[in-house]
Amino acid sequence: MVDDLCDSGLTLETVRDRLLAAGAASVKSVVLLDKKARRKVDFVPDYVGMDCPNQWVAGMGMDTNQIYRGLDQVVVLKEDAIKRALALSK
């Protein structure tokens, strides 16, 4: 499995368990960013690009309401940038 971010771990754990239940001999996971502080389940990615602080990140395909997705780097968003992006969904 490949994902940009492991946050709660719920999605990656669910997908892994379903793949194994469907007959996969093994399942490995790789994530660009690992937010260990937000983990809700006991899931540990097999390969991690880097640990991520418990902050809102965007860029390189990660977004907030489709904003900041096109940034050519991963950035930690400031509070005002998060509020602007979230306001667009209202």
10-52 confidence digits (pLDDT tens): 999 999 999 999 999 999 999 999 999 999 999 999 999 999 9
| CA torsion through residues 80, 81, 86, 90, sign | positive
pTM of the entire predicted model = 0.82
Boundaries of every domain in the chain: 1-52, 55-90
What is d(CA 70, CA 72) in angstroms, rounded to the nearest whole number? 6
The one-character DSSP state at 15 is H
CB 86 within 8 A of CB 77: no
Walk across the sheet containing 47-51 and list its strands. 2-6, 30-34, 47-51
Q: Provide the pLDDT for residue 72.
A: 94
The pLDDT of residue 51 is 96
90: pLDDT strictly greater than 90: no
7 has catalytic annotation: yes
Query: Of 3, 4, 7, 80, which one is the catalytic site residue?
Result: 7
d(C-alpha 18, C-alpha 32), whole Å: 22
